[in-house]
Amino acid sequence: MKKSQSQLRQDLVSGDWIVIAPGRAKRPHDFLKKRRPRRRSPRSTCPFEDPQASGNGAPILIYGDKAWELQLIHNKFPAFVHKNVCSGIMKDGPYSVTDTSGHHELLITRDHDKNFSQLSRTRARQVLEAFRDRYLMLTNDKCIEYISMFQNWGPTAGASIAHPHYQFIAVPIVPPDVMHSLRGSLQYEKERHRCVHCVMLAWEKKYKKRIIYENAGAIVYAPFVSKAAFEVRIFPKRHLPYFENTLDHDMDCVADALQAALRRVRAVLKDPDYNFFIHTAPLKDKNRYGMYHWHIEIIPRFSLNAGFELGTGIEINSVDPDMAARLLRG
């Protein structure tokens, strides 16, 4: 594709179309211009310096030899609240409704100024292990269908507190975007008898231009169908449908890859706000989703959707993923 040529591309999993428009609006290097330094909140008023002194309850999980280094707490303002009885899906006229029964929790790292990319290798791995530990604790909750694990970094990405933290939300439904991905993966496997994600990874390794980083067990690349500028994905190399079943070696490799990806986003793109989230197969129907391949997606926040995107569901990305990978690779 020529530098100024736009192209419609269809996602292999979801079937969604996106526009890669490198000649439109900003050039890739415009994203790299000097940005204002991130304003850090003072430690003296930070509620996560001492979560219990700030009115939070006892930790659900706590990690650290002497003092705490990582703790999981209940969100003081939860979107989902645990209930002892599952309400089920009911009808309100033509609409389906259910209670917001679930869990909404925060995973907090001790250091006020060290985000995920700046943590030690051990501590970064421990963040993902804490997610896995809590995930396994909730596998027998019959009211839960899916668990979402993510980080919002910066105000434009939805973070209201600057102290690095991560969120863990267990919900009574499979979210639509996840179901979209599951159905697409299932359909591809049904028609071609192969994991669609493994097919994409094999193509990226052969093509090479969009790979940003890899180690023995994980790979980082810019997707051919990137919905956002400088979108990045991290996959374990082994076919693993379920995040909670990931062994220590694979988790260590993914933690290393996620740190490497976020370091490059921070350094090359001048520390933008971003979201990263984990997509994994649901808690239930274990025999149904063996074709899925869990992964992490990073979305730097540079733009907002306008009329075309909102009205059509077609995203416009003004940075060619080949160029994004080349810049992030360094």
Does residue 148 lie in a domain region? yes
User: What's the sign of the alpha-carbon dihedral 149, 153, 157, 160?
Assistant: positive
pLDDT of residue 164: 96
Q: In angstroms, rounded to a whole number, what is the distance separating the alpha carbons of residues 145 and 283?
A: 6
Residue 5 scores a pLDDT above 70: yes
Helix (H, G, I), strand (E, B) or coil at 277: strand
Which strands form 315-317's sheet, in the order they lie side by side? 7-10, 17-20, 315-317
Does residue 38 lie in a domain region? yes
Does residue 184 lie in a domain region? yes
Q: In angstroms, rounded to a whole number, what is the distance separating the alpha carbons of residues 182 and 294?
A: 10
pLDDT of residue 179: 95
pLDDT of residue 16: 94
Determine the average pLDDT of the residues in 91-111.
94
Q: Kindly report the number of other CB atoms within 10 A of residue 285's CB atom.
A: 11
CATH number at residue 272: 3.30.428.10
pLDDT of residue 85: 85
Does residue 2 lie in a domain region? no
Does residue 46 lie in a domain region? yes
Tens digit of each residue's pLDDT (9 = 90 or more) over 40-96? 788 989 999 999 999 999 999 999 878 899 999 999 999 999 988 888 899 999 999
Tens digit of each residue's pLDDT (9 = 90 or more) over 144-185? 999 999 999 999 999 989 999 999 999 999 999 999 999 999
Does residue 119 lie in a domain region? yes
Tens digit of each residue's pLDDT (9 = 90 or more) over 241-300? 999 999 999 999 999 999 999 999 999 999 999 999 999 999 988 889 999 999 999 999
Residue 313 scores a pLDDT above 70: yes
Tens digit of each residue's pLDDT (9 = 90 or more) over 10-44? 999 999 999 999 876 555 566 666 667 777 788 98
Q: Structural domain of residue 115, as residue ranges?
A: 7-329
Number of domains within the chain: 1
Does residue 67 lie in a domain region? yes
Contact 264, 229 (CB under 8 A): no
Does residue 1 lie in a domain region? no
Specify the range with the lowest mean pLDDT, choosing from 2-16, 199-213, 285-299: 2-16
First to last CA, the chain: 22
User: Strand 103-109 to strand 7-10: parallel, antiparallel, or no bridges (unpaired)?
Assistant: unpaired
